[in-house]
Amino acid sequence: MKDRYMKQVNFKGIGIEGQEKLNQSKVLIVGCGALGTVVANSLARTGVGTLRIVDRDFVELSNLHRQILFDEADAENSIPKAEAAKDKLEKINSDIKIEAIVKDVNSITIEKMIDGIDLIIDCTDNFKTRYLINDVAFNHGIPWIYGGAVGSTGAIKVFIPNETGCLRCMMDTPPSAGSITTCDVAGVINTATGIVGMYQSNEAIKYLTENYQEVENRMIYLDLWDNEFQTMKLTKRENCSCCGKKEYQYLNNKMPEAVHICGNNSVQVDPNNSKGTISLKIIYDRLENAGVEVKLSPFLLTAKVEGYEIKLFDDGRAIIKNAKTIEEAKGLYAKYIGY
């Protein structure tokens, strides 16, 4: 251990005791894309004892410019991201335990995923999953680190139960489906995902080595293209639904977000459970500007991407033709519509 970690053991913020704490720690990484590969790579090299990596998707060629653990062979063979990451990380550090889970993260599966975990790191691509992470983290008293990046911008925030407010103190409800752009539509530069992922790793190392006073409690916002960097203090709300009233509606809602449509080779994705409305025109403009084949009628939007057909209704519900699995359909929804 001394030779491998000598440089960081010599750093006064970690030392031998801190390194031992890292070796004994268990971290759940939710999502193994641009942020997740950066975080997993950093924490594996740092010597975090157990990394549990969860992702429902597989490697594609378009991932390679920013998802640093994957290569062309992974894309050619459509290797599940969690498994591809596990394979690479075991070659980097054979002394730690890497667990790959190729499953969708939802209100039914997530509580099994947090078993024995000391810290959750959010590397997802949608707010619905983040609100679910927030619920399960505060319900079980597990700190979690938010991270997001799109275009040249990024944001990071550490949430610690009983000490800080939660995600719902900041924003009580997630943005409605389709109201925010995604990196597949707006694009993203790998410098932004790299810096956000490393910020998340840095805060994780502080927390796991019990340097609690050094953990950044403010929200960090950055725009690398415009050279902006800001921190914002977020106030804990006493009447917050989650950390105040302890109402975990995203965790307790066991209604499926996606179901197969019999005989139609399609999956229906309904992240809003058909509640509320979305602007089909805004999504139409966004997809058309991104070069997607898209049509708009008074009743629905139709987009053809990657051999799939997405029919989106103004209540946020979509029917995705040619999707073979629920995970595949939800991934397409997150990429092109966003939720």
User: Are 119 and 52 found together in one domain?
Assistant: yes
pLDDT for position 60: 86
Q: Smallest Cα–Cα separation from 139: which of 246, 17, 9, 233?
A: 246
Q: Residue 275 — pLDDT band, cuts 50, 70, 90?
A: low
Query: Which whole number is the average pLDDT over 219-230?
Result: 96
Query: What's the Rg (C-alpha) of the chain?
Result: 20
The pairing of strands 50-54 and 26-30 is parallel
Q: Which of 203-207, 230-234, 259-263, 318-322 has the lowest average pLDDT?
A: 259-263
pLDDT for position 1: 60
pLDDT for position 303: 95
Q: Which of 234, 250, 266 is a domain's end point? A: 250
User: Are 122 and 217 found together in one domain?
Assistant: yes
pLDDT above 90: residue 103: no
- Token pair 């602007």 in the structure block, residue: 279
User: Are 216 and 80 found together in one domain?
Assistant: yes
In this structure, the number of other CB atoms found within 10 A of the CB of residue 305 comes to 18
Reported pTM: 0.83
Mean per-residue pLDDT over the chain, rounded: 91
Dihedral over Cα of 37, 43, 47, 51: its sign = negative
User: Are 59 and 150 found together in one domain?
Assistant: yes
User: Are 82 and 231 found together in one domain?
Assistant: yes
User: Are 165 and 239 found together in one domain?
Assistant: yes
pLDDT for position 278: 86
User: Are 210 and 287 found together in one domain?
Assistant: no
pLDDT above 60: residue 274: no
Greatest Cα pair distance in the chain = 66
User: Are 45 and 165 found together in one domain?
Assistant: yes
Q: Residue 180 — pLDDT band, cuts 50, 70, 90?
A: confident
Q: Which of 83-92, 135-144, 175-184 has the lowest average pLDDT?
A: 175-184
Give the model confidence (pLDDT) of 182-208 as tens digits.
Answer: 776 788 999 999 999 999 999 999 999
pLDDT for position 326: 85
Q: Rounded to whole angstroms, how far apart are CA atoms 319 and 184?
A: 19
Q: Which of 250, 267, 291 is a domain's end point? A: 250
Task: Answer with the residue of higher pLDDT: 262 or 195.
Answer: 195
pLDDT for position 108: 86
User: Are 172 and 294 found together in one domain?
Assistant: no
pLDDT for position 46: 98
Element (H, E) at 122: strand 119-122
The pairing of strands 318-321 and 266-269 is antiparallel
pLDDT above 80: residue 136: yes
pLDDT above 60: residue 263: no
Say how many domains are in the chain.
2
Q: Which domain holds residue 301?
A: 256-336
Give the model confidence (pLDDT) of 149-160 as tens digits.
Answer: 999 999 999 999
Give the model confidence (pLDDT) of 27-36 as tens digits.
Answer: 999 999 999 9
In this structure, the number of other CB atoms found within 10 A of the CB of residue 176 comes to 18
User: Are 297 and 189 found together in one domain?
Assistant: no
Beta partners for residue 145, in sequence order: 121, 158
User: Are 295 and 177 found together in one domain?
Assistant: no
- 3-class DSSP assignment, residue 174: coil
pLDDT above 90: residue 38: yes
Q: Which of 222, 250, 278 is a domain's end point? A: 250
- 3-class DSSP assignment, residue 261: strand
Provide the CATH number for the domain around residue 158.
Answer: 3.40.50.720
Q: Residue 308 — pLDDT band, cuts 50, 70, 90?
A: very high
Q: What are phi and psi of 202, to 5 degrees?
A: -60, -45
Q: Rounded to whole angstroms, how far apart are CA atoms 278 and 288?
A: 17
pLDDT for position 98: 98
Query: Which whole number is the average pLDDT over 297-309?
Result: 88
Instruction: Say how many Å lie between the first and final Cα of the chain, rounded.
Output: 43
User: Are 239 and 296 found together in one domain?
Assistant: no
pLDDT for position 88: 97
Q: Rounded to whole angstroms, how far apart are CA atoms 238 and 194?
A: 35
pLDDT above 90: residue 177: no
